Structure 1
Amino acid sequence: MTFRPLHDRILVRRVEAEEKSAGGIIIPDTAKEKPMEGEVVAAGPGARNEAGQVQPLDVAVGDRILFGKWSGTEIRLDGEDLLIMKESDVMGIIDNGTALRKAA
């Protein structure tokens, strides 16, 4: 099944949380919090501005993003749990420092 979000909505796959803490303690499933990090799977074309023109989104498919704990609506597509949210729910794009290494 294919899914295409409308307007300024994006489809996000949560990134799985770590199984161990920084000290090496294994965290059980019942104590884990939902991750606030994800990967953009699909994105809409953008929202319309006051002039009626489509304003493209700042996020793109494949971007790793950070979003609020209660952001989005959970859905199930093809047996996979995903989130649909507006671009305004995204706090930022995680870059992993590749741009910093290139600049240096």
Structure 2
Amino acid sequence: MATTTLRSVKSLVPLLDRVLVQRVKAEAKTASGIFLPESSVKELNEAKVLAVGPGGIDREGKRLPMGVSAGDRVLIPQYGGSPVKVGEEEYHLFRDSEILAKIKE
């Protein structure tokens, strides 16, 4: 895992077709109010897009549009991406093509 000395995730700007996301944390409490131990709480495949790069470049040198934008809720693969830790928070960088789906409200 890459540990950085960044003070804020806002200073992390993805390049090309990279997408910076933060996984949505699963609820540690059930609907009836029972707190679950940390070991039983699974990571969700849902994430919030924090920042996107400008897009990749095709063979003709034209910029390809990104499929997601900052603020989108997306479905990400269970494994993969590049983890980045800023302070106590963990983020992931994925390529735009690795994002599985956009979640509409």
Please report the TM-score for the alignment, with normalisation by the length of structure 1: 0.81
Q: Would you say how many aligned residue pairs link Structure 1 and Structure 2?
A: 96
Distance 1:69 1:29 in 2: 18
| Mapping 1:1-104, distance limit 5 Å | 1=8, 2-20=11-29, 26-96=35-105
Shift in Å, 1:77? 2.0
Higher strand share: 1
What does the per-residue CA deviation read over 1:57-88, in whole Å, with 9 as the maximum and x for residues that have no partner?
Answer: 01000000001100311111244211111111
Please report the TM-score for the alignment, with normalisation by the length of structure 2: 0.80
Shift in Å, 1:49? 1.1
Distance 1:94 1:45 in 2: 21
User: RMSD of the alignment, in Å?
Assistant: 1.8
Distance 2:71 2:80 in 1: 19
Q: Aligned in 2, Cα 1:50/1:22: closer, same or farther, shift over 3 Å? A: farther
Larger mean Cα displacement after TM superposition, 23-32 or 41-50: 23-32
Identity score, percent: 33
Q: Aligned in 2, Cα 1:23/1:70: closer, same or farther, shift over 3 Å? A: farther
Distance 1:56 1:10 in 2: 12
* 1:88 counterpart SS class: helix
